[in-house]
Amino acid sequence: MIEIRNLTKIYGNVRAVNDISAIIPPGKVTGFVGPNGAGKSTTMRIALGLDRPTSGTATINGQKFADSPAPISTAGALLDARGIHPGRKARAHLRAIADTHGVSGARVEQVLDIVGLRSVADRRVGTFSLGMGQRLGIAAAMLGDPGVYLLDEPVNGLDPAGVRWIRHLTRSWAAEGRTVLVSSHLMSELAQIADDVLVIGRGSILAHAPTADVMAGREQVRTRVVASDMDALLAALKHPSVNDGVIEGLDARTIGDAAARAGIALYELTPLHSSLEDAFFSLTDDSVQFSTPEVSK
């Protein structure tokens, strides 16, 4: 379990994390989602003792990670897969970590198998693709067979097969009763992986709930309409909000019935489903730190 209590981190005049509290339970994959700069990495780094909080605490299985007697078997983390020296060979990299922490050579071979890197284990890490680098980072996180995993943007840059692999791996960890926290700035990535989502924006928690509930509550009904007399149709519908022929908040049946009653011909009536990303943005709208003008769709 990861427990975050009233955690705040201030860098200069940036409040990177602002008094957040959350309990990340075992047996589930929890997605940690928020726009760039929302505070995800900072929270994870503090939980792993790599950064000091300004105030508040983050504990793993009831104690600060830095105080853990066997850190490698308490929590495994993937923070920055590019942090490995490019001249190092994959197996040697894992062996070095294993040796420092009293982990056997047999376990190194085992994790190389699990992540599918055994056949390239004696290649230099600098020749690895992004996906192979992610797999190596995950192998390192697994060395101590920890009960808690924190993965920062693990699917960043992975191909669909890689994403599927991460999904299976994280789900199997959760099924074994481990605690799994996976961050991403894309809700669509986490919707496939996470049982629960912890949504963060500008350092504050915006939601912490089952993924399906967060998505369902945000679903927006939108319908594209082409009508013989659009003004009359909108009047019949009591002037809903319209954007480029798309009526917001009313479904196709409501619009079709109103058009029939008013004797208006419809040439198009298309239900539009809001994407997961739309739902996420409706939640984090005010908390996007680095926004760009919207490009026409």
Ligand X SMILES: Nc1ncnc2c1ncn2[C@@H]1O[C@H](COP(=O)(O)OP(=O)(O)OP(=O)(O)O)[C@@H](O)[C@H]1O
Which is nearer to ligand X, 28 or 202 (by Cβ)? 202
**Sign of torsion, CA 190 192 197 201?**
positive
Total binding residues toward ligand X, as defined by CB under 6 A: 12
Residue 284 makes contact with ligand X by CB under 6 A? no
Q: Which of 28, 33, 40, 71 binds ligand X (CB under 6 A)?
A: 40
How far apart are CB 2 and ligand X at their closest, in Å? 16
Q: How many whole angstroms separate alpha carbon 215 and alpha carbon 228?
A: 35
How far apart are CB 18 and ligand X at their closest, in Å? 10
**Are 256 and 265 a contacting pair, CB within 8 Å?**
no
CA 202 to chain centre: 15
How far apart are CB 47 and ligand X at their closest, in Å? 12
Q: What are the tokens at 69?
A: 């007697």
Q: Which of 1, 10, 14, 230 binds ligand X (CB under 6 A)?
A: 14
Determine how many CB atoms are found less than 10 A away from the CB of residue 49.
16
Q: Which of 185, 207, 225, 287 binds ligand X (CB under 6 A)?
A: 185
Q: How many whole angstroms separate alpha carbon 212 and alpha carbon 191?
A: 8
Phi-psi region of 247 (alpha: psi -120 to 50; beta: other; left: phi over 0): beta
Which is nearer to ligand X, 14 or 230 (by Cβ)? 14
**Sign of torsion, CA 172 141 109 89?**
positive
CA 35 to chain centre: 10
Residue 287 makes contact with ligand X by CB under 6 A? no
Residue 277 makes contact with ligand X by CB under 6 A? no
How far apart are CB 65 and ligand X at their closest, in Å? 17
**Are 75 and 1 a contacting pair, CB within 8 Å?**
no
Residue 137 makes contact with ligand X by CB under 6 A? no
Residue 53 makes contact with ligand X by CB under 6 A? no
Q: How many whole angstroms separate alpha carbon 183 and alpha carbon 244?
A: 35
Stretch that binds ligand X, among 10-18, 20-28, 103-111, 210-218 (CB under 6 A): 10-18
Which is nearer to ligand X, 223 or 287 (by Cβ)? 287
Q: Which of 22, 38, 60, 191 binds ligand X (CB under 6 A)?
A: 38
Residues that bind ligand X (CB under 6 A): 11, 14, 16, 34, 36-42, 185
